[in-house]
Structures are given as structure tokens and as C-alpha cells.
Amino acid sequence: MGDTTSSGQAKKKSFVQGLKAEYRKIIWPTKETVTKQTIAVLVSTVALGLVITVLDLVIRLGLDFLLG
């Protein structure tokens, strides 16, 4: 039971070394890629918002026509 401190230190070092090794493998996107993807997200968000707005308007007008 007294041996856990040395193996705990080894596990922590091994974990940190593993993190460093994985961090080096990351391929960060270029500024151009990030810009293109951001624009794509913004355009698709606005488009989806417009579609939902139109559907809401159509449903509301349809219900108003049927109910009153």
C-alpha cells in the first residue's frame, strides 16, 4: 500500500507526456479556412431563420383563416 506514491507520480508524468504528444499532432486550421467556415455558418443560420420565419407566418395566417 505504501508504493502508490511512486506509481502515482509515474502516471501523472506519463499523462502529461501523453497530452504533450497529442497536442503536437493537432493540425490547426488556417485563417482562410476559419473565415470560410464562419461565413458558411452565418449564412446557413440566417437562411434557416428565414425559413422558420416564413413557415411561422404561413401557419399563423392559415390558422387565422380557419379560426376566424
Label residues 40-62 b or e (16+ Cβ within 10 Å = b). eeeeeeeeeeeeeeeeeeeeeee
Q: What is the pLDDT of residue 47?
A: 98
Per-domain boundaries in the chain: 4-67
Tens place of pLDDT per residue across the chain (68 aa): 555 555 667 677 788 899 999 999 999 999 999 999 999 999 999 999 999 999 999 999 999 999 98
SS3 content of the chain, % helix, strand, coil (to 5): 85, 0, 15
The structure's pTM equals: 0.60
Q: What is the pLDDT of residue 39?
A: 98
Structure letter (DSSP) for residue 34: H
Cell reading at 27: 493540425
